[in-house]
A = this chain, B = another copy of it.
Amino acid sequence: MRMNDNVRRVTIRDCSIGGPDLTVMGGPCAIESREQIFAIAEVVAASGGRFLRGGAFKVRTAPTTFQGLGWDGWRLLREAADAHGLLTVSEILEDAQIEQARRYIDLAQIGSRNMQNTSLLKALGRSGMPVMLKRGFGCTIDEWLHAAEYILQEGNEDVLLCERGIRTFETATRFTLDVAAIPIARARLGVPVIVDPSHAAGQRDWVECLTLSGVAAGGDGLLIETHPNPSEALSDGPQAVVLSEFPALMARARHVAAAVGRSIPVALAMSAAVG
């Protein structure tokens, strides 16, 4: 967890991940409208966020629920991010999306349900796109690292891991965040580990606790769902932090980061962002 460790830094445009600065990624579960994503982008950027997250092609458990805006969603994500000096992260579901996705997505996320989809792992490995690999909720740390090797062995070293909770018998939260997995995965594979407190918590009441724990455990970044009006969200509303409370959450995370020798930038210089 000390900064003298041997974690490879992953650089995406002007953003260096894995060093002293924590990388904050915020946004909605699903991109729903121009108004929604622009409103969120503004707050994320003003709170020190570097990435705007948002799903356009959703892997939902059931086929009858909202499946996302698709390519239109990605266009909106790109525009909103560009307007506020942010980078973009979004889940890619199929090999066939990769080539087009490059125009919109700076960091390709492999979702928990696809962690062992070796076809997708290899295709993203070959693509050379930066990849964030979420841990399968039923998978061990070792299986997660083996999955990452499918990307790395294609010559793509821009790999981040993302701990998002594992499935246990406890039902008070949606998943159980495995905080020890953060330093263990960092140490074993030597790549940065981002923490997703939102899916682990499943309810916004416990997102703060898991955010601060993840920072204290040595996470290299945060991936947090936020929405202006969670009760009307089309997907995963219960776990989204209310957008108006996002800055305060980041302020608290910043204190804990400082306590473990890391930092979260206060905000992007907005002149640069919108210049």
Binding site for B on A (CB under 8 A): 1, 59, 61-64, 93-96, 113-120, 136-143, 146-147, 149-150, 153, 166-173, 176-184, 200-201, 205-206, 208-210, 212-218, 252, 255-256, 258-260
Cβ-defined contact, A170 with B179, below 8 A = no
Q: A138-B137, A171-B171 are in contact. Are A176 and B182 (CB under 8 A)?
A: no
A136: nearest residue on chain B (CB-CB)? B138
> How many copies of the shown chain assemble into the complex?
4
Which of B62, B120, B177, B259 is close to A259, meaning CB atoms less than 8 Å apart? B259
Instruction: Give chain B residues whose Cβ lies under 8 Å from the Cβ of A217.
Output: 209-210, 212-213
Q: How far is the CB of A253 from chain B (nearest CB, A)?
A: 9
Chain B residues whose C-beta falls within 8 Å of the C-beta of A95 in the assembled complex: 94-96
Return A140 CB to nearest CB of chain B, in Å.
6
Given contacts A168-B166, A170-B181, A176-B178, contact A61 B143 (CB under 8 A): yes
Do B179 and A179 touch (CB < 8 A)? yes
Q: A169-B166, A173-B180 are in contact. Are A119 and B138 (CB under 8 A)?
A: no
Give the CA-CA distance A95 to B218 in the complex, in Å.
39
Residue contacts A-B, CB under 8 angstroms, 21 given:
A61-B116, A61-B147, A63-B146, A63-B149, A93-B118, A94-B119, A113-B115, A117-B117, A140-B170, A141-B172, A170-B181, A171-B171, A172-B180, A172-B181, A176-B178, A179-B213, A180-B206, A183-B209, A209-B216, A212-B217, A255-B259
By beta carbon, the residue of chain B nearest A138 is B138
Which chain B residue shows the least CB distance to A148?
B63
Q: Chain B CB within 10 Å — which of A180, A205, A217 has the most?
A: A180
Please name all residues of chain B whose beta carbon is closer than 8 Å to the beta carbon of A146 when the two chains form the complex. 61-63
A184 CB to closest chain B CB (Å) equals 5
For residue A274, give the distance in angstroms from its CB to the closest CB of chain B: 32
Residues of B within 8 A of A137 (CB): 138
A161 to B198, CA, bound (A): 25
Are B169 and A169 closer than 8 Å at their CB atoms? yes
Q: Collect the chain B residues with CB atoms within 8 Å of residue A213's CB.
A: 179, 213-214, 216-217
- A119 to B113 CA separation, bound complex (whole angstroms): 12
Contact A63 B140 (CB under 8 A): no
Bound state CA distance, A256 and B252, in angstroms? 11
What residues on B are CB-neighbors of A1 within 8 Å? Answer: 208-209
Which residue on B lies nearest to A252, using beta carbons?
B260
Tell me the complex Cα distance, A62–B170, Å.
17
